[in-house]
Structure 1
Amino acid sequence: MSPALPPALPPARTPGAYSVALVCLGNICRSPMADVVLAQRVDDAGLAARVTVASSGTGGWHVGQPMDLRAASSLLAEGYDPSPHRARQFDAGWLERHDLVLAMDSQNLADIGGRSERVRLYRDFDPVPVGDDGPDREVPDPYYGGDAGFEEVLAMVERTSVALVAALQRDPALAPGPR
């Protein structure tokens, strides 16, 4: 089975700039891992001057705290820097400030108001095809599990970040170079 084409990105609110927000429950595992990986991929692609990445959680329990140590360790093992992350809480203003808001699971999606052109599941952009017995479109929460869950999440966010960056690179308004 060949990979399905990811959905098209919604248009930028500001020409020449694009903002992606990632949302999970507490902003200490899934969305910050995706934030770190996507931001690094954006930078590697020469898009950092035009594309911003942010993450938040629907709950406020961890606001101001660093990433979960297991999430940070998974990132460090693959050469990413998780140290700048501090948990933030999602608020309705995020829907207006970002061009694309990606929830990690269906509950997060419901908590932020449901699917729309600008609000989707993160794994809607995952290049792994969904078949009758294939993966669903949720990023599983590894918080109550072991290290293997964090490694699984990292694999998902790495391949999905590659697909998101490819979609951003196809937008001629975001092409690297002088503005």
Structure 2
Amino acid sequence: MTVGSGDAPAVVALGGGHGLSASLSALRLMSDRLTAIVTVADDGGSSGRLREELGVLPPGDLRMALAALCDDSEWGRTWRDLLQHRFTSTGDLDQHAVGNLLIVALWELLDDPVEGLDWVGRLLGARGRVLPMASVPLSIEADVVRDGELTTIVGQSAVGSTASRVESIRLIPS
């Protein structure tokens, strides 16, 4: 099967982070009829900072999905690497990914996250489409047992790194 052929399957992939990115990198070799539906619950790193400061969807997992859909041409590799590049400084830009800033800037200009992602996808020559899972930032909230007591923790970073036993988990807003 070749990419772009009429026989290529239409594929929808749901997820986020490195797992979705790796899956999309493989799937783009089999089909360009890809749609990634990407989590918007990230609250750490560059995404968390932009989410907090600007009140936007966290762009990081969306950026990683777009980068994974770049082809292996010089154009695709260059834009993928630029999108993923992180600044190293002692200032406010430290550890921000160029792609996160580009995506958020387009969201501000266009006032539409989906349209902004489509614009980035066209710039990259992405082999597929990336959509946010929700139109508002989500938070993960979990009830965990810590020292024999049930307590609630909030945020993907906190839930993902807890050593406590998770009793229940939910998305906010539900």
TM-score (norm 1): 0.26
TM-score (norm 2): 0.27
Counting strand residues as a fraction of each chain, which structure ranks higher?
Answer: 2
Report which structure shows greater RCO (CA 8 Å, sep ≥6).
1
Larger Rg: 2
